[in-house]
Amino acid sequence: MSTAALYNDQGAAEAAVEAGQETTPTSSSSGAAFGLFSTDFKKNEDLKEMLESNKESLKLEAMKRIVQLISKGKNASELFPAIVKNVASKNIELKKLVYVYLVRYAEEQQDLALLSISTFQRALKDPNQFIRASALRVLSSIRVPIIVPIMMLAIKEAAADLSPYVRKTSAHAIQKLHSLDPDQKEQLIEVIEKLLKDKSTLVAGSVVMAFEEVCPDRIDLIHKNYRKLCNLLVDVEEWGQVVIINMLTRYARTQFLNPNINESLLEEGSGGEKMFYGSDEDEDEDEKEKKAEAAAIAKRKPYVMDPDHRLLLRNTKPLLQSRNAAVVMAVAQLYFHLAPKAEVGVIAKALVRLLRSHSEVQFVVLQNVATMTIKRRGMFEPYLKSFYIRSTDPTQIKVLKLEVLTNLANETNISTILREFQTYIKSMDKDFVAATIQAIGRCATNIGEVRDTCLNGLVQLLSNRDELVVAESVVVIKKLLQMQPEKHSDIIKHMAKLTDNIQVPMARASILWLIGEYCEHVPRIAPDVLRKMAKSFTNEEDIVKLQIINLAAKLYLTNSKQTKLLTQYVLNLAKYDQNYDIRDRARFVRQLIVPTEKSGALSKYAKKLFLALKPAPVLESPFKDRDHFQLGSLSHLLNAKAGGYQELPEWPEAAPDPSVRNVEVFTLLERVTTLTSVPEWTKCSSREKRKEKKVEKPFYSDSEGESGPTESADSESDSASTTDSASASVSEESESGLESESEEESETEEEEEDKKEKKNQKKEPKKPVQESESEQSSEEEDRKPEKRSKKLKSDSESDSVEDEGSESESSPSESEDFESEAVVTKKKKAAESKPPSKSVRKEEKKEKKEMSLLDLDDFEPTPSPQVTPVNTLLSNSLATDLEGLSLSDSILSPATIIPSGALKNYELLHRITGEGLSVEYCFSRQPFSPDANMVAVQLQFTNNSTSDTKNLHMEDVRLQSGMRVKEFPEIELLPAGEMTSAVMGIDFCDSTQAANFQLCSHTKKFFVSIQPPVGELMRPVFLTENEFKKEQGQLMGMNEITEKLTLDVKCRNEHAIVQRVTTAANLSRVPCGSDKECSPPVPPPDYPVHRFAGRTVTSSSLVLVTVATREEGAAQLMVNCEKMVIGTMLVKDILLALTQ
């Protein structure tokens, strides 16, 4: 032993030291390291001297060498006294290295460590935030129980520090203290509670981390901070995002209702899973009952999503684009666990993207994808090819990809998948080949159509040269044959022949079992096989021996004439076997099958026992039911509960009170801290300040910066409900309904407060007409923003005029919009010289009100001079950010983009032609998330017949070249009398060519076609008036079409024109058209010009529409579009809309 020799050289003392350290048995370089160490050890003496010298550079040199020792895992604890003296050094690097040392060894040298504490206590008061923070970091890292009170004090102080960086550090320290002394929990929770209120993005991630560590069950602490966290999320650093998202997932599970409640209950009855794995065809009665019950429930109480739930989904979605795989995964699991079924699809693309990353990332992502594919197969189907296996993939990745491919297999894609599997079987990686064969087996069991093909393929593999391949195939074939043995006696015969060649025990055992089980199908061969086996019995593996006994017993029972002696022989051999299991089995079998006087009643049933019909095996994915663990978690990956794992709670039966999340007082006290550290969104308090600091505008949350994040949810809900009251039209199910309900709920609670508020308002001295009251209040709100949130709530349910008030408070940009509108109204009023009679005026007022509400609907932030900062660039980006906000939200967008008027429904399939099934479709005008180039078409299926319709899907899509269709997910079941809807996407290639396809149910097929009106081939874009004019200037000549018209009598006011145009075409209104303040009065103010803009969906060509009104209802319509065909058709459509 070379090391032993070295030990001797070094002397016993050193050897002991060394032995203590070298705990790793495998460190093969210990010899070399040892040589090094001997010099190190000697130098340790001079290290002490160096540390005690006066020269900084020497000290630093010493510390560097000590760090080197630590990094190698060597013990340097005896230097502690010498080092701890340097803790107060002026040299920052030296100080830091001393910190490193301290943190490492303080636990071992507690008494000495205490010497350093006072230094840190002093540093905690340092004016430099950096020094304060690092002092707290080190102080809290010293794991010495005695200093717990000091730490507690330091944490409390730091939590109130002006610097967010120090507060962040204090959040980290909370966890350290908690792990050091769990008794401090209560006090620490107080600090956490305080820090949770912190508005800095820097602190948010760390404090949630501390929350998760210390008190993950105190969900009540989150309520008040929920909306803030949601809104801050994009600006939090990436690691914090992961922790916050995971926590919010759990939170949402306790606070909101299951968005898939209706579907999931239905699913239980005859969901997709059953189709896939279901072998038990008999659907029991009570399940049916349950289903009916569920359907009844669903009818009684339509699901509405809590706006806070929506807020969470909306604010996490952009993070799917993060470069950090952990963030993407966190969002993906959030969507998987929380989002409505229809929306989960968005995560697939992002997860597939992660597959390009490092192999470790791939490994984790694939595990999660595998789990997801079982529940939501459709989600990943379009990405099937991304899971194809490359020969260079590591085996563990290959196996996981195989798992995903198997889960994705269905009737339509099985042939491609099987072809792909065929190449895999030829791989050199034998483990992978074995896994492939298993996968083929699973596909065969799951998809009846290909069972025979698979079986044939596997039988061919039996002649493969590689024994492992053959063995694996045998095992899989055995399982397949068990499903329908009658048909395949020739395969059984073929396999019987293989017993001579195959040596792999498992395979031999499988063949023997198969022959024994189906010996009636192969009456001639079976005894012969037994004969051969009896000969080689003693040399077989245990597992094979057991099956030989099994075979012998079964043959004895069915064919005792031929096999009696053989069986006796085998049983005798087994009786003296070395393995007691085999001896036991032999004894047991003998007693059971060979009739003697002593044999009990059981032997009568021997045949029944041995030859009972065995249920076919179910080949299941190992990932089935793994989703009861939160996806993306360590526990999910290991499929076992890891320490500290927080169970994902089940959805509550009834939604807990949503009002707990309302924030009562919105403090706008700005902390006077360093310039940069001001939490961004508190700045909305004063405009001047915002202007000063606009350079540091937060990146994503500009819009939040405009309106206090705590309110944004409310404001949106308000706007939506106003939309309702104004136009009573938006037919979108979820949002609007939901909001009104949630409001109603909160109404009762806040009624009292509301009354008080009203009283206050009455007390206010100046009370002009109602209208100006709202205006006034809105102005007042601007001046007193502290009151905002309170008022907001109270106003929201007061009468409609006050509603306007609340509207204007909710976000400055909107309020200005409204204000300016109000000013217009005022001016118009002033313009009218003769005061009209009261009733007339009232009427007019109503009309005006409607108009202004409508403009709010349009939601284009009007760049009124008040908001426009000096820098136009920023104002632009602000506007686009706001626009982005509205566009990115698929559910809310209809409320903002579609002005009014129900979406027009078209008939796809009439009730009569569809034999009871009727289908209607409409263009929902929502962005189609899987493919932005597609137009979303919402289909509504109604089953008017008396029987259920199953498996509604699309087939045989015939399209003009270039067009593409994204099919709607198959509808598994549409019970009689029920309705359901689905969304499909069609890329019409900017043409009005129809998309023809077949709509298939489980029994029938119908030819249908969808032809889009030209107005649906575009999506609205936001342009300012100047941009509009500029673009218009470039689309002259051939691209411009002008038409004169006389407006319909009912369509002479602004409101009606806007409504009709936007109903005819999916365009957005260009603001400022009639606003005299913004543009010099080029058009005479009495005859406003309305402008609308959009882009075609596929090619993104601009579509500009101008309606210029003249006297007496005359008007001019102008359409500018690069695509002349679209332009011409659009002119016709709009003309029709305006004149009828």
Partner 1 sequence: MIHSLFLINASGDIFLEKHWKSVVSRSVCDYFFEAQERATEPENVPPVIPTPHHYLISVLRHRIYFVAVIQSEVPPLFVIEFLHRVVDTFQDYFGVCTEAAIKDNVVVVYELLEEMLDNGFPLATESNILKELIKPPTILRTMVNTITGSTNVGEQLPTGQLSVVPWRRTGVKYTNNEAYFDVVEEIDAIIDKSGSTITAEIQGVIDACVKLTGMPDLTLSFMNPRLLDDVSFHPCVRFKRWEAERILSFIPPDGNFRLLSYHVSSQNLVAIPVYVKHNITFREGSSQGRFDLTLGPKQTMGKAVEAVLVSSQLPRGVLNANLNPSQGTYTFDPVTKLLTWDVGKINPQKLPNLKGTMNLQAGASKPDENPTINIQFKIQQMAISGLKVNRLDMYGEKYKPFKGIKYMTKAGKFQVRT
976 binds partner 1 (CB under 8 A): no
57 near partner 1 (CB under 8 A) = yes
The least distance separating partner 1 from the CB of residue 1139, rounded to whole angstroms, comes to: 34
> Does the footprint of partner 1 cover residue 176 (CB under 8 A)?
yes
Q: Applying CB under 8 A, which part among 480-488, 537-545, 641-649, 1010-1018 lies near partner 1? A: 641-649
Residue 93 binding partner 1, by CB under 8 A: yes
Q: Candidates 356-364, 564-572, 795-803, 946-954 — which segment interacts with partner 1 by CB under 8 A?
A: 356-364
Interacting positions 924-943 with partner 1 (CB under 8 A):
932-933
- Alpha-carbon distance of 404 to 381, in angstroms, equals 10
- Contacting residues for 793 by C-beta, under 8 A, at least 6 apart: 662, 714, 746, 750, 753, 754
C-alpha 397 chain-centroid distance: 23
Residue with tokens 């543009």: 1079
Containing H/E element for 1119? strand 1114-1121
By CB under 8 A, name the one of 330, 454, 1058, 1064 that touches partner 1. 330
- Residue 374 to residue 628: CA distance in whole angstroms: 13
The Cβ-side half-sphere exposure at 847, using a 13 Å CA radius, reads: 13
Among 602, 638, 979, 1124, binds partner 1 (CB under 8 A): 638
CB of 1022 to partner 1, least distance (A): 7
Q: Which is nearer to partner 1, 678 or 822 (CB)?
A: 678
Separation of alpha carbons 1112 and 992, rounded Å: 35
Query: Would you count residue 961 as binding partner 1 (CB under 8 A)?
Result: no
Is the Cβ of residue 533 or residue 1097 nearer to partner 1 in the bound state?
1097
Which residues are within 8 A (CB) of 886 and not within 5 positions of it... i.e. 6 or more apart?
859, 892, 893, 896, 897
Residue 56 makes contact with partner 1 by CB under 8 A = yes
**One-letter amino acid for residue 578 of the chain:** Q
Residue 403 in contact with partner 1, rule: CB under 8 A: no
Least Cβ distance, residue 393 to partner 1 (angstroms): 9
Judged by CB under 8 A, which stretch of 554-562, 691-699, 975-983, 1116-1124 contacts partner 1? Answer: 691-699
**Least CB distance to partner 1 at residue 503 (A):** 17
Helix-helix angle 770-783:788-796, to 10 degrees: 150
Binding span for partner 1 by CB under 8 A among 70-78, 493-501, 910-918, 1065-1073: 70-78
Q: Which stretch binds partner 1 (CB under 8 A): 68-76, 751-759, 824-832, 1076-1084?
A: 68-76
* Cα–Cα distances in angstroms (integers) from residue 752 to residues 656, 757, 793, 802, 1010, in the given order: 21, 9, 12, 17, 53
Does 206 bind partner 1 (CB under 8 A)? Our answer is: yes
Tokens of 389: 């296996």
> Does 28 help bind partner 1 (rule: CB under 8 A)?
yes
List Cβ neighbours of 644 (8 Å cut-off, separation of 6 or more).
Answer: none
Amino acid found at 852: S
Kindly state the smallest distance separating residue 128's Cβ from partner 1, in Å.
Answer: 8
Residue 971 interacts with partner 1 (CB under 8 A): yes or no: no
DSSP conformational letter for 440? H
- The contact mask relative to partner 1 for 128-147 (x = CB under 8 A, - = no) is xxx--x---x--xx-x----
Is position 97 an interface residue for partner 1 (rule: CB under 8 A)?
yes
79 counts as binding partner 1 under rule CB under 8 A: no
CB closer to partner 1 out of 104 and 671: 104
The reply to whether 278 sits near partner 1 by the rule CB under 8 A is no
Distance CA 366, CA 399 (A): 10
Stretch near partner 1 under the rule CB under 8 A, chosen from 38-46, 321-329, 449-457, 973-981: 321-329
DSSP state string for 117-154 = HHHHHHHTT-SSHHHHHHHHHHHHHS--GGGHHHHHHH
CB of 962 to partner 1, least distance (A): 12
* Length in residues, the chain: 1140
**Footprint on residues 233-252 left by partner 1 (CB under 8 A):** 234-235, 237-239, 242, 246
Tokens linked to 957? 């899509």
The secondary element (H helix, E strand) that includes residue 958 is strand 949-958
In sequence order, the β-bridge partners of residue 958 are 996
Q: How far apart are CA 498 and CA 503, in angstroms?
A: 9
How far apart are the C-alpha atoms of 180 and 781, rounded to whole Å? Answer: 49
- CA angle in degrees (0–180, nearest 5) for 147-151-157: 150
Closer to partner 1 by Cβ: residue 172 or 545: 172
The window from 27-35, 791-799, 1007-1015, 1081-1089 that contacts partner 1 (CB under 8 A) reads 27-35
What phi-psi label fits residue 131: left (phi over 0), alpha (psi between -120 and 50 degrees) or beta?
A: alpha
Q: Is 690 in the site for partner 1 (CB under 8 A)?
A: no
Report the residue number, 442 or 636, with the smaller CB distance to partner 1.
Answer: 636
Q: Which stretch binds partner 1 (CB under 8 A): 18-26, 650-658, 740-748, 949-957?
A: 18-26
Cβ neighbours of residue 102 closer than 8 Å, sequence gap 6 or more? 83, 84, 87, 113, 116, 138, 141, 142
Among 635, 710, 893, 1066, binds partner 1 (CB under 8 A): 635
Given the rule CB under 8 A, which of 189-197, 533-541, 821-829, 877-885 is the region that contacts partner 1?
877-885
**Residues 106-125, interacting with partner 1 (CB under 8 A):** 107
| Phi and psi at residue 1000, to the nearest 5° | -115, 140
Closest separation in Å from C-beta 22 to partner 1? 9
Element (H or E) spanning 317, and its range? none
List b or e across 58-68, with b for residues whose CB sees 16 or more CB atoms inside 10 angstroms: bbbbbbebbbe
Selected from 300, 323, 524, 614, the binder of partner 1 by CB under 8 A is 323
For residues 24 and 1140, which CB has a smaller minimum distance to partner 1 in the complex? Answer: 24
- Using the rule CB under 8 A, give the single segment among 218-226, 689-697, 813-821, 973-981 that binds partner 1: 689-697
Residues 372-401 interacting with partner 1 (rule: CB under 8 A): 385-386, 388, 390-392, 394-396
φ and ψ at residue 506, rounded to 5 degrees: -60, -40
Q: Could you say which residues in the range 723-762 bind partner 1, by CB under 8 A?
A: none
Distance CA 390, CA 1122 (A): 45
Closer of 353 and 583 to partner 1 (Cβ)? 353
Binding to partner 1 by residue 175, rule CB under 8 A?
yes
Min dist. Cβ of residue 877 to partner 1 (A): 6
Region from 66-74, 480-488, 995-1003, 1067-1075 binding partner 1, contact rule CB under 8 A:
66-74
Task: State which of residues 328, 515, 534, 1131 lies at the interface with partner 1 (CB under 8 A).
Answer: 328
Footprint of partner 1 on 455-514 (CB under 8 A) = 464-466
**Residue 677 engages partner 1 in binding (rule: CB under 8 A):** yes
Site for partner 1 in 982-1041 (CB under 8 A): 1022
Residues 830-869 touching partner 1, rule: CB under 8 A, are: none
CA-CA distance, 520 to 526, in Å (whole number)? Answer: 9
Other residues' Cβ atoms within 10 Å of the Cβ of residue 756: 12
Q: Rounded distance, CA 1074 to CA 1069, Å?
A: 12
Minimum CB distance to partner 1 smaller for 57 or for 1034: 57
Our CB check for partner 1 shows the closer of 330 and 519 to be 330
Both tokens of residue 266? 């239905």
Question: How many CA atoms does the CB half-sphere of 93 hold within 13 Å?
Answer: 10
The verdict on 172 binding partner 1 (CB under 8 A) reads: yes
What span, in angstroms and rounded, lies between the C-alpha atoms of 672 and 695?
18
Closest CA to 305 of 296, 314, 295, 297: 314
299-307, 318-326, 683-691, 828-836 -> range binding partner 1 (CB under 8 A): 318-326
Size of the site for partner 1 (CB under 8 A): 131
